[in-house]
Amino acid sequence: MAKRTFSTFETFLIFLLVMMTGVTVALLSLLFITSGTIENNKDSGFLTTQSPPATQGSSTPQGSTLTQGPADTQGPTATQASPTPSTPEPTLFQNFSGYHIGVGRADCTGQVADINLTNTFTLLYPSCFIFVSSFLKVLNRLQSKYGSLYRRDNVILSGTHTHSGPAGYFQYTTFVLASEGFSNRTFEYMVNGIMKSIEIAHTNMKPGKIFINKGNVDGAQINRSPTSYLWNPLSERARYSSNTDKEMLLLKMVDLNGDDLGLISWFAIHPVSMNNSNHLVNSDNMGYASYLFEQEKNKGYLPGQGPYVAAFASSNLGDVSPNTLGPSCINTGESCDNANSTCPIGGPSMCIAMGPGQDMFNSTQIIGRIIYEKAKELYASASQEVTGPLASAHQWVNMTDVTVWLNSTHTGKTCKPALGYSFAAGTIDGFGSLNFTQGTTVGDPFWDSLRDQILGKPSEEIKECQKPKPILLHTGELSKPNPWHPDIVDVQIITLGFLAIAAVPGEFTTMSGRRFREAIQEEFATYGMPNMTVVVSGLCNVYTHYITTYEEYQAQRYEAASTIYGPHTLSAYIQLFKVLAKAIATGTVANLSTGPEPPFFKQLINTLIPNIVDRAPTGKHFGDVLQPVNPTYRMGEVVEVVFVGANPKNSAEILTHQTFLTVEKYEATSATWQIVHNDASWETRFYWHKGLLGYSNTTIQWHIPDSAQPGIYRIRYFGHSRKQDLLKAAVIVSFESTSSTFEVVTAL
């Protein structure tokens, strides 16, 4: 076959296509993507300190913070809702021998338009998806406000891993390209939301108790790479009844009177019930579980408000899907549960896994409710109290240069980061757009040649180190304009009595998590701390893609192709975390080296989408109604109103912005309008439709639930427009509008 050649210009155009479509789509499972729809992201901060400070390896008072990333939703304060209770600045460690506990949440959604993803379904609260740049910024602000109380060793930022949040806040070039540039709006909004949730938790800290419980969650997950799992030794697989980890671990937090404060649970499931056709910002199945639990505990409050905080954290979810019907060819209906996830007709793009519901919204509710119901059961029956000292250990390590002892005589080594061909194939939860195939172990001359012309050839060293991965992108050897992937990553363990929270910087597969937990537990036992419960807290502090077992790596499906530090990545993490476990068990944390601090880049690729002035049609104003509501609706119907809109990203520059919408009910007895829903509510949807030259429309929907009370209602829209007069700086101008009233009735 004749060799294909391309001109420089043709090559450049093809490269743009590859980078901006193939890489972007493949990264959907890794990123928050915001495109035209908004759902609230809540940051749930949990502070646990022990009094008196009896931590091993340190003589200073030790607090620990776990902040979980996008999980549920928050909106404006309802008229009828009482304010979130707060207490004076706590005096810690006074005449109490247990834990001090504080919980808090704040909105960290950020920019929801002109960025990957652009609408709103539910907001994101800290519980936020956090990466290294955010982690470092938060640590700096914590140090400025609280001194040495909250530090890198006792603060964990963990993500639920929703795939439907705003992108553009991670500093490494691979993610910046996939996000179409760095969004400082989202970055700052996220950092501020995390800080606010921690500040609330710190202010509300009080003496309390922690109870632990465990139980299996059935019917919520499948292994999306079962053929890779089968590469693990038969003797090892025989020890487990399932190819996914079904166990949920839950911590129940109460004050000394037994009053509820909050919960943290860990469960292995990908929040991808909302598939990659979705354009609504939302917190997916884990966020819906949090939403249900908080609505149950915070009666009378709007979503994202109220004193009780429920955080549903990720665990070893790398190969775990919520799309429980499994993969099938959408054009023929036959199963495509094979090593390559491909269909006879149409190839891999036809092989898609479906959830249990009628659509992705319904599937999200079904899976989220299953998780919620198990958490509710475990919470109610939790009786084993967590007691004992609180300790923490943290190191930064160069993951590209770790020598791994495979046995007493042989060593292996981690590699500079690289992504394989199957990375671009995506998964059964979201396929790639360029017809790459999972399970690819041999490169393609066309793609290799294209990569070499644009990015340069990967070195023989990285190709040899990463085998059998065929390298698509040798990101560890690319440094312009900034490194494409992190070299320096965090390893961290926090212990509360017999519980060890291992904060891992990526997505462990099922068997990787099992091996990891077992090894850390054995290390604690070896040095005098037997019977430790070890939980894998996934996607913490920095993001490093996936971590498969050595055997799964040989199969080179998506998860293995995305194990960026090579085949010995899992062994390296086990080795590094064993060092931390030993240090905690022997009281030698103070002797641990800090390790090389990761960089913080100030010069990043700005967003490729410019800021333009918003415009209203001639004779119209922002917020004017273009399509009015109907006069009457029944339960189960959808209220829809269309307004003259403005770019929602403007609102991310206004830190006091609370919501894009409210649904309000008229109360005749008090002659007032009471807020019943906001943009964090599951029942509301916010769509922004971008036109040309700054013109746009906004559509707000209310899906009337069966629980709605008959009566008179209205919908309000809160927005911000960008205005710029000649030779003057742009300003952001707020506006609001209200629909006409309508009646909700039980029957027409």
Which residue ranges are tagged as binding site? 161, 270, 507, 546
Active-site hit among 133, 321, 512, 651: 321
Helices (H) and strands (E) in the chain, counts: 15, 36
Q: Which residues, in sequence order, are CB contacts of 144 under 8 Å at separation 6+?
A: none
Q: Hey, is 443 helix, strand or coil?
A: coil
CA 576, CA 520: separation in Å to the nearest integer? 10
Pairing type for strands 632-634 and 742-745 reads: parallel
Four-residue CA torsion sign, 633, 636, 642, 648: positive
Binding residue numbers for Zn(2+):
161, 270, 507, 546
CB-CB contact of 556 with 439 (8 Å): yes
Question: Which residue, among 223, 318, 228, has the nearest Cα to 556 in the 3D structure?
Answer: 228
Cβ neighbourhood burial of 463 (10 Å; 0-12, 13-18, 19+): middle
Length of the chain measured in residues: 748
Give, in order, the Cα–Cα distances in Å from 325 to each of 78, 336, 557, 718.
39, 12, 20, 40
- 265 noted as active-site residue: no
CB-CB contact of 288 with 22 (8 Å): no
Question: Which residue, among 305, 281, 430, 429, has the nearest Cα to 367 in the 3D structure?
Answer: 429
Please state the φ and ψ torsions of residue 363, each to the nearest 5 degrees. Answer: -60, -40
CB atoms within 10 A of CB 620: 14
Range list of H helices, 347-458: 360-381, 445-455
Output the six-digit token pair for 574: 């086990």
**Which amino acid, residue 215?**
G
Output the six-digit token pair for 484: 């494409």
CA 531, CA 473: separation in Å to the nearest integer? 43
CB-CB contact of 534 with 500 (8 Å): yes
* H/E element, 548: none
CA 143, CA 137: separation in Å to the nearest integer? 10
Output the six-digit token pair for 192: 């501020």
Q: How many Å separate Cα 51 from the centre of its chain?
A: 32
Which residues form the catalytic set?
Answer: 321
